[in-house]
Chains A and B, each alone.
Chain A
Amino acid sequence: MPLDLANYVALSAVMFFIGVAGVVIRRNPLIVLMSIELMFNAANLALVAFSRAWVNNAGHIFVFLVVTVAAAEAAIGLAIVVAVFRRAKNVDLDEVAGMHG
């Protein structure tokens, strides 16, 4: 049985919401970053799936862009985490709330 477009979209949605849950629930910044990666890749999966179903290569190309940006984001994010850890000796996101109003 060939995979239907709906299967891909459903998988993508599941991955995305797992990522959302990870971002919202977890307090470890590393896990949060990983969850964000998961959301990126969920979006990538949806893009690729739609691109193939509608025979339009724009989606494929856009995925490369997203992968690149995600790599950059991960690099910056990890750097921030390291910097925060050095300062606060702590990696709990809720403790790093110095920017409150």
Chain B
Amino acid sequence: MISLLVVLWLVPLGGALAAWAFGPQLGRAAGWLASALAFVSFACAVVLFPQASNATGVGQTLVTWIPGYTFGLRLDALSLLWTLVITGVGGLIHVYSIGYMWTDRAAARFFAYLNFFLFAMLTLVLSDNIVGLLIGWGLVGLASYFLIGFWFERPAAVAASRKAFVINVFGDTGIMFAVFALYAATGSISYADIFARAGTLPVGVLVAVCIGLFIGAAAKSAQVPLHTWLPDAMEGPTPVSALIHAATMVTAGVYLIARFAPLYNISPTAQTIVSTVGGITMVTGAILGIAQWDIKRILAYSTMSQIGYMIMGVGVGAYQAGVLHFFTHAFFKAQLFLGAGIVIHALGDEQDVRKMGGLARRMPFAFWAMLLGTLAIIGFPFFSGSYSKDAVIYGALEAGHPLLYAAGVLTAGITAFYMFRMIFVVFFGPDRTEVPDELLAIPPPARAAHAEAHAASHAPAWLMNAPVALLMIPTVAAGWLSIGGNASPWYRYFGTMFGTSENVAGPSLPIPEFASQLIVYAVVTVGVVIAYRRYGAPAAQSGAIERLRAEALGMPRALRRAFFVDDIIAAAIVRPARALGSAIVEIVDPKVIDAGVRDVAWLAGALGLVARALQNGLVRSYALTIVFGAACFLAYFAVLGAGR
């Protein structure tokens, strides 16, 4: 059983190496191999489920570095959940990718990266110590960089991958300092030791560690203000957006905070910071989701907003709720992205929703997939998202944060609005696929500039449809695990794993949970109705082209520029850094470094000029020099002798 854990961990790495080394020979088989290995990992996790689904789980020491400092793996309830999602949803997305990348000549490289991502993510969640966590964290960022920049011939993809990497490394730095501080304060790198000594940490160290970890979590999980890489990351292939930038990688921050629950539980300051940032991200993402025209960017901002919910949930100490939202989100967001991928693929890489319309008739399968995903994400009753989202929102109230509660309810309404805006614009109304860009106010560079000949793609339709069809089940049903509150399978699964947070409020709550749910449903309904009136009603659809054009032209600048976050970062960090760089190139390099080297060379030459005068080749002058030296010696000793 112990070795099964290592198999589970290493199998994707083997797939990555095989696809990387033998890609040309494997051809399309690379995709099948990679998918099969992902499912092997998944099967291992399923076999290990009975032993691992508790707070202790199963562990294995891999390397004893110095006695007392061991690197190992541990599969417990929390990492098991992530492992199942990573390998299960990941495996489905692998299969989908075979169809999506059917005509891409570099598909083997793509699958090597995908499997490498699985390995990196498994390293992150399976590590039993903070150093392994940091390594996995860095590898995941690297895999993300590879996959965003997969189409490296597109400048936008290259820029997006670089941006994602830089922001992620900024977060890695936060974690690195947290790791240093934890090691310095506890003298150990293993989770078990650190959590056992959590109570003895000085408050300052505790808060600093929690904030350092959260900087990493915020960068990886696209929290304000480190979120700007996520919408840009949509330059990667759509399966990548589904796997990495929706289902798994971006939720690593949620994992991190849930994993470090013993530290966050005793640090209300850090919890307040985490939950507040989560709340801000939740609202910001939802508002920006309204203003997007690119179908993948709509989903990207919705991802950001939903991760805001998760972070808020784990931030207020409602770990089960936050992690449940991760769990349901992994399914319905993968579903949404894969459904969007079917649409994008069928339209020859068109991503602008203004160029779609009326697709419900042409692509009923994609329509139903997207509709189910949308109902789940907006928290429609009995769909998975409603259970998790309601639990998170109510958790904020339980923890005594009425403001975050209100923000959560409001965001649920905005989410309903922009998601149904997408549904109505893409799948209803007149077909606009042939309408010229000018009539829809689509600026030329904003269009997906890669309308390559995808017409030749003849992948079997089931390759892309089957994973989506399978995802429909958990998209609808995953939340049912939590029916019944604390007696439900979900809450029993985690048991007391997360401990209790110090800031859980007293028993007097203004409203019971079902009333809170009704409020959320009401707000969601309002959001859907507004979306229907603006985009879905027959009156709105008749003049759709003019309406969309007017909306695009009348969009407030703040929304079009995503609240200027990129501009602020550019002005505050990027441009000063560039200026510093060019100052170094123009001043420090020639005037200090080069000048220093030149001066040393000049000095050696000058000394040589002086010294060569002595080397005159005249033996008699050498003899005289020797005599002179001897005379000096004699004089010295004579004086010394006289002085004695």
Residues of A within 8 A of B (CB): 20, 23-25, 27, 32, 93-94, 96-101
Contact = CB atoms under 8 A, between A and B. Distances in A.
A55 B620 CA distance: 38
B637 to A, nearest CB: 15
B612 interface: yes
Given A24-B624, A99-B617, 7 more contacts: A20-B623, A20-B627, A23-B620, A25-B620, A97-B617, A101-B614, A101-B617
Interface in B592-611: 611
Given A20-B627, A24-B624, A24-B627, A101 B615 contact: yes
Interface of B: 611-620, 623-624, 627
Contacts of B613: 101
A40 B612 CA distance: 31
Contacts of A32: 619-620
B620 A98 contact: no
Contacts of A96: 617, 619
A76 B613 CA distance: 28
Contact of B617 (A20, A25, A27, A98): A98
A94 B620 contact: yes
Nearest to B618: A97
7 contacts: A24-B624, A24-B627, A94-B618, A94-B620, A97-B616, A101-B615, A101-B617
B608 to A, nearest CB: 9
A20 B627 CA distance: 8
B620 A27 contact: yes
B616 A93 contact: no
Nearest to B630: A20
Contacts of B620: 23-25, 27, 32, 93-94
A98 B617 CA distance: 6
A100 B617 contact: yes
B611 A93 contact: no
Given A20-B627, A24-B624, A24-B627, A101 B616 contact: yes
A25 B613 CA distance: 21
Nearest to A35: B623
B628 to A, nearest CB: 10
A20 B630 CA distance: 11
Top 6 nearest A-B pairs (CB, nearest first) are A100-B617, A101-B615, A97-B617, A101-B612, A99-B617, A23-B623
Contacts of B619: 32, 93, 96
Q: Which of A32, A98, A100 has the most CB of B within 10 A?
A: A100
A24 B617 contact: no
A93 B614 contact: no
Contacts of A25: 620
A96 B620 CA distance: 11
A101 B611 contact: yes
Contact of A100 (B611, B616, B623, B627): B616
Contacts of A100: 615-618
A100 B612 CA distance: 8
Contacts of B627: 20, 24
